[in-house]
Structure 1
Amino acid sequence: MAPRLNPLTTLTAAAAVLVITTAAASWVVSLTVAAGAVLLAGVTGAARRVFLAAGVILAPFWLSLLVMHGLFFPEGRSVLASWGPARVTTEGLGFAVDMGLRTSAFVLVLLLFSFSVRVPELVAALATLRLPPQFGYVLASTLMLAPIIAARLEKVRQAQESRGLVVGKGVGNRLGAVRLQMVPLVLGLVHDAGIRAQALDARGFRRTGPRTTYTQVRDSPAQRGFRIVAVLLAAAAVAVRIAASLSRGQA
């Protein structure tokens, strides 16, 4: 069995990929990153959970993009179809697809990392950087928020369906079903957050002073070298983007 990567390695790789994707500002790069995340999710066995969480997050986002920019893009000139004030333009669809692919790449990469990382190992690895333990817990909790929401939403949906909830094809029926699912979802997340806060306080989370970790996280010179290269590549992508913007501004 191959040894697991250090959480700092996967965290650095995910952050570098997101920075490079943002700096590139290209739908080709975004599509490539999203496809790579999907492929890795399938290889690691996290495809079902990643797709479920990504669907919950991205489906309404894509819908809003297509409605706002696909139909009401103010800078659109090439009109493909029109219905009163709504106009389908080439520029609007292009902007919506570009933003949608970029956001999809972000969501898929973060979900893949959150489903593959082990929180105790991540906290222990961050402790080796002399960071406060609270930072590790906050980062881990933030990364695990999407999987928690996806799992909770699936339970809420199953509970609502067992009580006779039927989602029709109309927009009104779908919005009503979303409202019935969102209310228990938010209340359940707030309740879970209170329970976790009490558990952390009981374990001395707020106490200061030296701490001992019993989780051993393996590292290697190759992984440390990879992290340095990834950070340099991300910094270079940002520098190239800034230089290109300045050159266009002076032209």
Structure 2
Amino acid sequence: MTLPQHPGPDRPDDGSAPRGRLNPLTGLVLAGAAVVVCLAWASWSVWLAVLAAALVAASRARVLSRVAAAGSVVVVPFALWALAIHGLFFPEGRTVLAEVGPARVTAEGLDYAALFVLRTATLVVVMLAFSLWVDVATLRVALVRRGVPAQLGFVLASALGLAAAVSGRLAGIRAAQEARGLVVRRGIAGRVVAARLQVVPLVLQLVDEAGERATALEARGSSLRGRRTFYVEEPDSRLQRWVRWSLAVASLAVVASVVVPAVVGTFGSAG
């Protein structure tokens, strides 16, 4: 049997790598650049554009339903908390829409809460779309091939794999608990109680699995040094490498566009 050949530090790219498929590192850089833009530029138009792009990418990757299900678990409770805190108790609010005791519903508070939720939802969707799309084994190989320590590459890849599996595991835990007599009451309070009962076995499962994987890696010599042989196919091309470097430089420029004016303004005011 002939194993596929891969470009790498010990094997130059001769143009025979599979084309038309996205390298996991390209997806990682795309997601990272989107996160940097959302955190650096406080603009609802930027957040909406990134959110739309992430949803389109998730749809093309056929993971949109899973992204929506997992994202709602995070975004909906966070949105309710943000609206309750900032919408009712926003100290800078001046335009009062309603007032009930110490709580004041202000236009400024609702606007701030909506923008806060929009940015959080965008970040959640971007990270979920990437984690549900990426092939963990290929990502780990791509990282190790480019000099990332095997343990660090495994930790990152495992974190993404676990993030992608959390929603499915929670559903399985809930089904098992309901089979044992757990009754999930209607309403937010009932769901919060049920979620608390499901989180504990989920965390125990993840910790136990992490220990098993660490033992298996040590038994297979992951901590040994020297040249490694990879048997996982990693699609890549010159165009994708150019895109990754361009996005990395653009992300640094975005960060500089925010940090440099802040530093200059600080020293200017001090002078």
Offset of 1:173 from its aligned partner?
2.8
> Aligned AA for 1:68?
I
- Counterpart for residue 223 of structure 1: 240
Q: What residue in structure 1 maps to residue 161 of structure 2?
A: 144
The correspondence of residues 146-225 of structure 1 with structure 2, limited to 5 A, is 146-225=163-242
Cα shift readout 1:116-142 (whole Å, capped 9, x = no counterpart): 111221122112322211221111122
How does 1:232-247 map onto structure 2 within 5 Å? 232-245=249-262
Alignment match, 2:90? 73
Residue 51 of structure 2 aligns to which amino acid in structure 1? A
Residue 111, structure 1, aligned to residue 128, structure 2: yes
1:228 aligned counterpart, secondary structure: helix
> What's the counterpart of residue 90 of structure 1?
107
Contact 1:53 1:146 in 2 (8 A): no
1:215 to partner: Cα distance: 2.0
Deviations 1:190-244 (A, max 9, x none): 2222322222232223333332222232322111111122112212222222345
1:140-165 Cα offsets, whole Å, 9 max, x none, are 12222322221111111222333444
State the Cα distance separating 1:68 from its structure 2 match.
Answer: 1.6
**Gaps spanning 5+ residues in structure 2: where?**
1-17
1:125 to 2:125 alignment: no
Inter-partner Cα distance in structure 2 for 1:215 and 1:168: 46
Q: Distance in 2 between matches of 1:188 and 1:124?
A: 25
User: Quick one: distance in 2 between partners of 1:133 and 1:190?
Assistant: 20
In 1, the alpha carbon distance for the partners of 2:202 and 2:152 equals: 26
Shift of 1:85: 1.6
- Of 68, 84, 89, the residue aligned with 1:51 is 68
In the TM superposition, residue 19 of structure 1 has moved relative to its aligned partner by 0.8
Which residues of structure 1 form unaligned runs of 5+? none
Question: Are 1:100 and 2:93 an aligned pair?
Answer: no
What is the rounded CA distance, in whole Å, between the counterparts of 2:244 and 2:192 in structure 1?
45
Matched residue type, 2:203: V
How many residues end up aligned between the 2 structures? 251
Give the alignment's Cα RMSD to 1 decimal.
2.3
Q: Greater CA radius of gyration, 1 or 2? A: 2
Pair 1:16-2:44 in alignment: no
Matched-pair contact (CA < 8 Å) for 1:16–1:230? yes
Question: Is the CA contact 2:136–2:160 (under 8 Å) kept in the aligned structure 1?
Answer: no
Tell me the distance in 2 between the aligned counterparts of 1:17 and 1:176: 34
Aligned partners of 1:43 and 1:223: how far apart in 2?
18
SS at match of 2:105: strand
TM-score between both structures, scaled by the size of structure 2: 0.83
**Separation of aligned partners in 2, 1:57 and 1:118:** 23
State the secondary structure of the residue aligned to 1:144. Answer: helix
Deviation readout 1:98-131 (Å, 9 max, x if unpaired): 1211111111111111111112211221123222
| Conserved 8 A contact 2:99-2:105 | yes
